[in-house]
A and B are shown apart, each in its own frame.
Chain A
């Protein structure tokens, strides 16, 4: 279970980083950042996994008495929720910035923007 999740997380991170480094199109770079983000989220949730644990929601099966033995760690999941929202904000800002860059030069190729290059 955790093996599959770990492999997925690491693969997503590597694919995202490859996309960020190898692409010239700004929109594709933003997609790379999104993939990297998703990989990190999967990784954090995996770290909070407890062997044989179930979702940290109490019901008839997981009562208040045996909760500590049956659930997975709720804290990484809460942190990932925060991380997802921040990731969404970063993506929205990058897209807005890409739009502005396109309006300035009518191009989304990152090699056309040389002002900050030295």
Chain B
């Protein structure tokens, strides 16, 4: 019994003097990597999973479009809607939107513009097909269906 008591008297301390340094290092890491979202997304975004993901080479050539059920269903209804920038648009306005996005790019890059479709899992194919038809008309034919990486095996 006495043996144990002896051991318990040894005081152990973790050095805490370097803790602020460690915390600051983490802080700087997150400060540098963080990106403020410039648009607030007003539609549900439960992105589906897939395995064969491709990465977009150049971010400046990407235009984002969000499709899903509106978050404020009492205001906008339950039908999936199309959001670009900060507003909901109808399918017929897509051509105009594509042209304004293309105008932001250099002339030689315009045919390389990719439209990233961030579509909710529960959205139906119908609305997406309408969007695709309009994109074809607007000659923005490179499309990326945004997905998450499926964890396999």
- A and B held together in a complex: no
